[in-house]
Structure 1
Amino acid sequence: MITVVGSINMDIVAFVNSYPQHGDTVFGDKLEFSPGGKGANQATACAKLGKAVTLIGCVGEDPFGDRLISTLQRNKVNVDDVKRSKSTRTGTVLVTVDESAANTMLVVQGANEQLNIGDIESCREIFKKSKALLVQLEIPGETVIQAMILAREYGVPIILDPAPAQGITAEALKYADIIIPNRQETKYLTGIDVKDVQSAVEAAVYLESIGVEKSIIKMAEMGSVVYVKGQWEHIEPIRVIPVDTVAAGDSYAGALACALADGESLVAAAKFASMVSALKVTRFGAQEGIPTLAEVQDFCASISKD
């Protein structure tokens, strides 16, 4: 079983030709309400890829919360430990997607901020049974740390997706077994602007110097660099035509956890995760666009033929 501790949000997604500048008014093509949140997305990815997964998070007692719980259940995510807050509304994200499929987000954390250390402590039995823990940084920092401490106590591998970058702390890095930053997060962590494979390796070396021995530097269209204790390998990008990059990183994280739970090496797991995230960006929607294992297998077969 994989355990995910993280955010659960409703994404309100506007599709536009170009982003508005400060003070501008632009017209959008369409608006969608899409279940999201990094924690919920990653848990959904694990479930769609065939793994038993438990999500620990918090939503409000409101229509958004009801819909998010229902969607997670339909995707076979265990939500028994998703808390319902009577005092705070469900987290909401305003997403703008432009014609290049790039996105910007404005996050209102809402009920995500209500997930606390006590909620984590009440899930000890879940941690004991886990093969991997996935955490991100859209919930309170102390809650993330407590989840990592429990996982470490029970010998559970910890994968940290350090997003958003502003939530990164030295303490979180201390407990992470594997960290998977994108270019923006890597620059925030290391001060190194990743522009190519060599600069990604330099960033990974820096992360090792501050205690993170295993990292994957994600470089979008340039692929990724997998780094383990001084050894590294460049994973080539998979060329697709993107339509929606929302949850691409979450799909990657979930797929990575699944492969590692199956005993794959970090390099093999990264290659699988690249396949999953590449397929995701060709489809609309955060959770609805995440592929199933069968779809990923078909995608891999089609690439092999090419």
Structure 2
Amino acid sequence: MDKVLVVGSLNMDFAVYMDRRPQAGETVMARSMKLVPGGKGANQAYALGKLGAKTSMIGAVGTDTFGEQMLANLEKVAVATKGIQKIAGTETGKAFIEIENSGQNSISVIAGANAAVDEGLVLAQEELFAQADAVVMQLEIPVPSVVAAARLAKKHGKTVVLDPAPARADLPDELWAQVDITKPNETELALLTGLPTGTEAEVVAAAKALIAKGVKNVLVTLGGDGTMLVTEDKVEKFPAYKVKAVDTTAAGDCFLAAFISQFTGSNFAEAIDFGAKASAIAVTRQGAQTSIPTVEEVENFH
């Protein structure tokens, strides 16, 4: 897709690196902490911009230093930020991330200004929808705003992409009926559908439940087991690339953005492979937006 609009969240990540995450009631000594621009929406917009797509974003930040840093980081990769509103008297969203040696993490999010991304804010940017080829959304902003964005995207005949995270079971059928591509992992897929996803057959059945709601294409990311594409009439599986993970933060955001940057409407295999390579590189680096590779790095990855 040449022109992409991202409607979503912006968070400043407080990334804490430790040997292992603490159990309940336990104190663990950490090695270091970094402040890194993040938020699922901003991560995807940043990755799209860095990977060469003409990208714009709708969202909100507070009138604080973190908000200014978030905007500046997006602008470094040519993301258009005029759709990102500064909400007076509100703090920029924050995420607190604990990352252990395996690269696995636990994340807690404070919405901050993201909660102010209401339907009015979204609808006021209709021009950005008209200019885009695809509209990408996640669930770190209010769900009614996501529904409004999907409805407006369809009004203008755009490809609607939903990253259903953080996953929740109460998403309205109206939203699913407008989604062209969704990208849950197997855990999110189980939460979204209420169905088990412990085996490949169960993953397919759960994905088919979303297809029955009107979703055209379900991309299920399976970590080291690759990616599964499920449509109404086919199931295909694509391999992952084996690397030593340092930090899995934003790996899914990187995969989706890289996929969209190469997707032309039908070339699923090539776009999924590009996404798999990009996310494989990202997990070998610390941080969210700081981990995103360039096009050249992805093309040279083996």
**Alpha-carbon displacement from aligned partner over 1:12-40 (angstroms, at most 9, x marks no partner):** 01011111111111100100000000000
Closer/same/farther in 2, CA of residues 245 and 84 from structure 1, 3 Å limit: same
Match for residue 180 of structure 1?
183
C-alpha contact 1:137 1:168 (8 A) present in aligned 2: no
CA distance in 2, matches of 1:177, 1:161: 11
1:237 aligns with 2:252: no
User: Partner amino acid for 1:80?
Assistant: K
User: Partner amino acid for 1:273?
Assistant: G
191-200 or 123-132: bigger deviation: 191-200
Which of 67, 71, 77 is the matching residue for 1:65? 67
**Alpha-carbon displacement from aligned partner over 1:63-95 (angstroms, at most 9, x marks no partner):** 111111111111221111110011210000000
Match for residue 10 of structure 1?
12
CA-CA distance at 1:166 after TM superposition: 2.6
Match for residue 106 of structure 1?
108
Match for residue 118 of structure 2?
116
Match for residue 255 of structure 1?
258
Match for residue 158 of structure 1?
160
C-alpha contact 1:226 1:267 (8 A) present in aligned 2: no
User: Partner amino acid for 2:167?
Assistant: A
Matches within 5 A, 1:80-229: 80-166=82-168, 169-170=171-172, 171-229=174-232
CA-CA distance at 1:285 after TM superposition: 1.4
**Alpha-carbon displacement from aligned partner over 1:177-204 (angstroms, at most 9, x marks no partner):** 1111011111112233323433322222
CA-CA distance at 1:168 after TM superposition: 5.4
Residue ranges of structure 2 left out of the alignment (5+ in a row): none
C-alpha contact 1:97 1:103 (8 A) present in aligned 2: yes
User: Partner amino acid for 1:209?
Assistant: A
Match for residue 36 of structure 1?
38
CA distance in 2, matches of 1:259, 1:228: 19
SS at match of 1:107: strand
CA-CA distance at 1:103 after TM superposition: 0.7
72-81 or 238-247: bigger deviation: 72-81
Match for residue 19 of structure 1?
21
Matches within 5 A, 1:258-269: 258-260=261-263, 262-269=264-271
Closer/same/farther in 2, CA of residues 52 and 89 from structure 1, 3 Å limit: same
CA distance in 2, matches of 1:224, 1:277: 12
User: Partner amino acid for 2:140?
Assistant: E
CA distance in 1, matches of 2:39, 2:142: 14
Closer/same/farther in 2, CA of residues 140 and 203 from structure 1, 3 Å limit: same
CA distance in 1, matches of 2:267, 2:108: 36
Match for residue 79 of structure 2?
77
Match for residue 46 of structure 1?
48
CA-CA distance at 1:48 after TM superposition: 0.8
C-alpha contact 1:183 1:219 (8 A) present in aligned 2: yes
Aligned residues, how many?
299
CA distance in 2, matches of 1:195, 1:284: 29
Match for residue 291 of structure 2?
289
CA distance in 2, matches of 1:14, 1:172: 35
C-alpha contact 1:15 1:31 (8 A) present in aligned 2: yes
Closer/same/farther in 2, CA of residues 104 and 179 from structure 1, 3 Å limit: same
SS at match of 1:81: strand
CA-CA distance at 1:264 after TM superposition: 4.5
Residue ranges of structure 1 left out of the alignment (5+ in a row): none
CA distance in 1, matches of 2:300, 2:267: 22
C-alpha contact 2:93 2:113 (8 A) present in aligned 1: yes
User: Percent of counterpart pairs with the same letter?
Assistant: 35
CA distance in 2, matches of 1:93, 1:110: 10
> Normalised by the size of structure 1, how large is the TM-score?
0.94
